[in-house]
Amino acid sequence: MKPNARITFQRVPQGLPVVEDFGADVAEVPTAGEGQFLSKTLYLSLDPYYRNVMKGSQIYADRLRAGDVMVGETVAKVIESRHPQFQPGDFVAVRNGWQEYALSDGQGVRKVDANLAPVSTALGVLGMPGLTGYAGTVFLAQPLPGQTFVVSAATGPVGSTAGQVARHMGARVVGIAGSDDKCEFAVRELGFDACINYKREDLASALKEACPRGIDAYFDNVGGSTLEAVLGRLALGARIVLCGMIGAYSMDQMPHGPWLGPVVGARATMKGLVVYDHMDKMAEMTRVLSGWIAAGSFRYREDISEGLASAPEAFCRLMRGENFGKALVRVGA
Ligand code: NAP
C-alpha cells in the first residue's frame, strides 16, 4: 500500500486551538477514476477562517466531524489524470485538505503558472488572500491619491496586499502590526509610510500622530479594540472595509461591538467584504500583482513550516498571531 498521511479534525477547540484538537492517520493513496485526477500536495495554506469551520460556523460550506481530514486549500502537482483538462505535471490550486494526496473532479480548481512567481504564492498574494486585499482596496475602500489608508494585520497576506495596492493607487499607507519587526518590514520592504506596533504603543495616540488629517480608508482585518481606535480618527466621508475579525474567531462568546457614533459624525461608509463575491477578478489580480512582483514594486513574505505533521502547531501559532507572513506548510518537495 502507498501511504497517504493525513491530519484530521478531532474536536471543537475551546478558545485558542491546541494541537490536541487535531488527530492523524494514514490511509491508502487513492486511484483516479473517470473524470478525476490525483495530485500530490506541495503546500498547504493555513487560513484564519479554518478556526470558524472547526466550530461549525454556518457561513462556510465545509462541515467537519471527528476523524474527517481537515479542510484547506493547497498547491499540488497532478501525478495521475483521467480528466481531460489536467495533465500529469500540472500545478494546481486545489482543496486537497491536510493530506499528502487527494483526488479531484476539477471543480473549483485553478491551474497555477509556475513562471509567474513561486507556486506557493497561489495560496497567498496570488491567491484567495491576495484577491481579498486587492478587491477590498480597489473596489470597496477606493483610496484616492494623497488620502490616508490604514490597514491592520499589515504584514499578513491580506493586509500586505491591501496596503501595497493602496500605495500603488497613490495613498499614504499606515500599517498596524503586532511587533517592531513586523512594523520595520512594513515600512522598509512593503513601502508603507508608517506602521504602528499596537502592542507597544497606545494605538489611539499613535494614530493621531501618524494620521494628522484623519483616516480616509480603513481595511479592518482584526475588529475589536483596533477597529474602535480607528473609528476615533475618521476623516469626513471615510470608507471602512470590514474584512476579518481574527481575534474573535477563538472566543466562545462574541464580543460587544465598538461604539459606532463616529461613523455617523464622519458620514462614513462601512462595507462588508466577502472575497468569493470577487472571484471574477482573480485573473485581473494575478496579472496586476505578478507584474508588480516581477518589476520589484510588490513584496510578500511567507512563514513556512516543514512537513505535514507540523500543520496543527503551525495553525495554532497563526491563531495566536505568532506568524510573520503568509502561513504555509511545505508538505511535499
Ligand atoms: P494573517 O494576517 O496572517 O492573520 C494572522 C495575523 O493577524 C497575526 O499574525 C496578527 O498579526 C493578526 N492579529 C491581530 N489580532 C489578532 C488576534 N487577536 N489573534 C491572532 N492574530 C491577530 O492572515 P490573513 O490570511 O492575511 O487574514 C487576515 C484577515 O482577513 C483575517 O481576519 C481573515 O479571517 C480575513 N479574511 C477575510 C476574507 C473575506 O473574504 N472577508 C478573506 C480572507 C481573509 P499582528 O501581530 O500584526 O497583529
pLDDT in tens, 25-43: 999 999 999 999 999 999 9
Cα 153 to middle of ligand 1, angstroms:
6
> Computed from CA positions of residues 288, 290, 296, 298, in that sequence, does the dihedral angle turn out positive or negative?
positive
Predicted confidence (pLDDT) at residue 315 exceeds the cutoff of 90: yes
**Residue 149: phi, psi to the nearest 5?**
-115, 125
Pick the more confident residue, 60 or 174.
174
Residue ID of nearest Cα to ligand 1 atom 1: 156
pLDDT bin (cut points 50, 70, 90) of residue 102 is very high
User: Residue 299: CB partners within 8 Å, gap ≥ 6?
Assistant: 160, 164, 189, 190, 191
The number of the ligand 1 atom at minimal distance from the alpha carbon of 242 is 41
Q: Check pocket membership of 159 for ligand 1, CB cut-off 6 A.
A: yes
Q: Which of 86, 122, 89 is nearest to 104 (CA)?
A: 86
Count of CB atoms within 10 A of residue 184's CB? Answer: 14
Q: Which residues on adjacent β-strands are paired with residue 101? A: 40
Domains of the chain: 3-121+302-330 (3.90.180.10), 128-277 (3.40.50.720)
> Which atom of ligand 1 is closest in space to residue 319's alpha carbon?
20
**36 C-beta neighbours (distance < 10 Å), count:** 17
Tell me, using a 6 A CB cutoff, whether residue 321 lines ligand 1.
Answer: yes
pLDDT over 90 (residue 212):
yes
| Cα 272–Cα 132–Cα 105 angle in degrees, nearest 5 | 115
* Residue range 112-158, pLDDT digits in tens: 999 999 999 999 999 999 999 999 999 999 999 999 999 999 999 99
Alpha carbon nearest to ligand 1 atom 27, residue: 158
Question: C-alpha angle with apex 260: 199 to 59, nearest 5 degrees?
Answer: 80
**Residue 98 pLDDT exceeds 90:** yes
Q: Evaluate: CB of 247 within 6 angstroms of ligand 1.
A: yes
Residue 330 scores a pLDDT above 90: yes
| 222 touches ligand 1 (CB under 6 Å) | yes
Q: Quick one: pLDDT at residue 59?
A: 82
DSSP letter for each residue of 252-312: SSPPPPPP-HHHHHTT-EEEE--GGGGGGGHHHHHHHHHHHHHHT-----EEEEESGGGHH
State pTM to two decimals. Answer: 0.96
CA distances from 125 to 15, 57, 212, 237, 265 (A): 28, 25, 30, 29, 35
Which residue from 284, 285, 323, 333 is spatially nearest to 303, judged by alpha carbons?
323
Please tell me the distance between residue 38's alpha carbon and the centre of ligand 1 in angstroms.
32
Ligand 1 atom 36, closest CA: 244
